[in-house]
Structure 1
Amino acid sequence: MSKRNKIIYWVATLWLSLGMVSTGIVQLLKVKAEVDAFTHLGYPVYLMTILGIWKLLGVIAVLVPRFPLLKEWAYAGFFFAMSGAIVSHITLGDPVTQILPSLLLLTLTIVSWYFRPAERRVHVKTLQPAF
């Protein structure tokens, strides 16, 4: 992996982690502005606890060495959570300013996943025919 790709990976991953930790904590603490945003989108408040815990666990999974399959699941969770938030905002006709934070985190998720080092990737063995 080139030095440039390592820098891109770590910058994207650290910003992604910071964003997920901060929003996860805000959701766990049920900050009023976040509760208002969730109810505006039509989601139950208890979902904030689930997402907050998953975001914190996802950050741990992405940052710790090894466990590439767990990392894939964390990236998938981040992707689904952020793309779901974007679609929810668009569906309600919210202004772009409310969509941008989720779009930024989605972009960071994709960049971090794409530039992750080989030791952080799942290596799939090719299947050989039985005959």
Structure 2
Amino acid sequence: MKALKITYWTTTVIVALMMTYSAYAYLTQAAILQAFQHLGFPNYFRIELAVAKLIGAVLLLIPLTARIKEWVYAGFAFTFISAFIAHTSSGDPMANRIMPIIFLAILIVSYITFHKSNSVIGNQEPAKTKSPAL
């Protein structure tokens, strides 16, 4: 159980930190603006994606119902897959293509350990007490 928790929190924090840094870079670095133009995306999409990444990072870290977390994981999975497709389609170097796949793998580990830890917690039975003898 302890290893499961450590794995969950380590992978979740890695994804959240990367998404937070990515959002910051989207909003502050001129190179990212040029990269979005290179990929053929409009400027408003860069800002929209930065805000979504910040919101997703916060939602990933705070305790929420599994249903809401499912949407966060799905959103990040779509983001990583879309980034891979965009970089591949534009002929970017392998390093630009592989990073979204690496972070998708980390996200998958976080997702799996999230559900495993929830099922372990959910399957624990409350302590049984003996009823007094009649």
Q: CA shift at 1:67, angstroms?
A: 2.7
1:49 equivalent to 2:67? Answer no
CA displacement, residues 66-93 of structure 1 (integer Å, 9 cap, x when unaligned) = 2322211111110001100001111122
SS at match of 2:69: helix
- The aligned amino acid for 1:43 is F
Farther off after superposition, 54-63 or 99-108: 99-108
Name whichever structure is richer in helix by fraction.
Answer: 2
Aligned residue among 89, 92, 109 for 1:111: 109
2:31 matches 1:24: no
Q: Give the one of 90, 95, 98 matched to 2:96.
A: 98
Runs of 5+ unmatched residues, structure 1:
120-131
Q: CA deviation at 1:95?
A: 1.3
2-structure distance, mates of 1:109, 1:23: 15
Match of 2:124 in 1: none
Q: Give, in angstroms, the shift of residue 106 of structure 1.
A: 1.4
Letter in 1 for 2:76: F
How do 1:120-131 residues align onto structure 2 when only pairs under 5 Å count? none
Answering whether residue 36 of structure 2 is matched by residue 11 of structure 1, we say no
For the pair 1:68 / 2:46, whether they are aligned, the reply is no
Unaligned runs of 5+ in 2: 120-134
Contact 1:28 1:53 in 2 (8 A): no
Compute the TM-score of the two structures, normalised by the length of structure 2: 0.81
SS in 2 for 1:115: helix
Q: What SS does the aligned partner of 2:52 have? A: helix
Query: 1:65 offset after TM fit, Å?
Result: 0.9
Counterpart in 2 of 1:77? 75
The runs of 4+ residues in structure 1 deviating greater than 6 Å are none
TM-score by length of 1: 0.82
Contact 1:9–1:111 (CA under 8 A) maintained in structure 2: yes
| Cα distance in structure 1, aligned partners of 2:68 and 2:43 | 27
Percent of aligned pairs with the same residue? 34
